[in-house]
Structures are given as structure tokens and as C-alpha cells.
Amino acid sequence: MNTTLLDPTNDYVFKRLFGETPELLVALINDLRPDLPAITAVDITNPNIESSELSGKYIILDVLARDNSGHCYNVEI
């Protein structure tokens, strides 16, 4: 049995994990910033991963998060 885990700080892994489950991304952001207004929604502005990007050095993940007051945040990994 292979117990090697994928690195969630890898852009591809992060995008696959959180791009398909934005509610997990909302929970992660809120857990990392407990003293700030809660994030209620996220938009991943480039959710598709082109096959040509996989051989490159990195994949850019753009996440726009909003709190319940309507403030927007650009989230970078």
C-alpha cells in the first residue's frame, strides 16, 4: 500500500482539491483568519487546468473571497 500523500501546497493539488469543493476552501480560509469577518463565498476565477500547464513550473490560482459585508479579498497560496 502506497501511503504517499499529495502536497496541498502544490498548485495543481490545491486547485483540484478546493476547485471541486469550494465549501472546503471557505472553511480553510475562515479557520486561518478566525478574528476577521467570516468568508461566505469564494470564486475560483480560472478553475480549468490546461494540460500544457502541467509541465510548466507553476499554475496560477486566482481566488476571490467575499465576506457577508460584501468585502472582497484576493487569496494567494
Q: At how many degrees (to 10) do helices 11-19 and 22-32 cross?
A: 110
The answer to whether residue 32 sits within a structural domain is yes
Task: Of 40, 32, 36, give the one whose Cα is nearest residue 65.
Answer: 40
The answer, yes or no, to whether residue 10 has pLDDT greater than 80, is no
The answer to whether residue 6 sits within a structural domain is no
Q: How many domains does the chain have?
A: 1
The answer to whether residue 51 sits within a structural domain is yes
All three cell numbers of 29, joined, read 480560509
The answer to whether residue 40 sits within a structural domain is yes
All three cell numbers of 33, joined, read 483568519
The answer to whether residue 4 sits within a structural domain is no
Q: What is the pLDDT of residues 43-76, one digit of tens each?
A: 887 656 655 555 555 556 678 899 999 999 988 7
34/62 Cα distance (integer angstroms)? 22
The answer to whether residue 29 sits within a structural domain is yes
The answer to whether residue 38 sits within a structural domain is yes
pTM exceeding the 0.85 threshold for the entire prediction: no
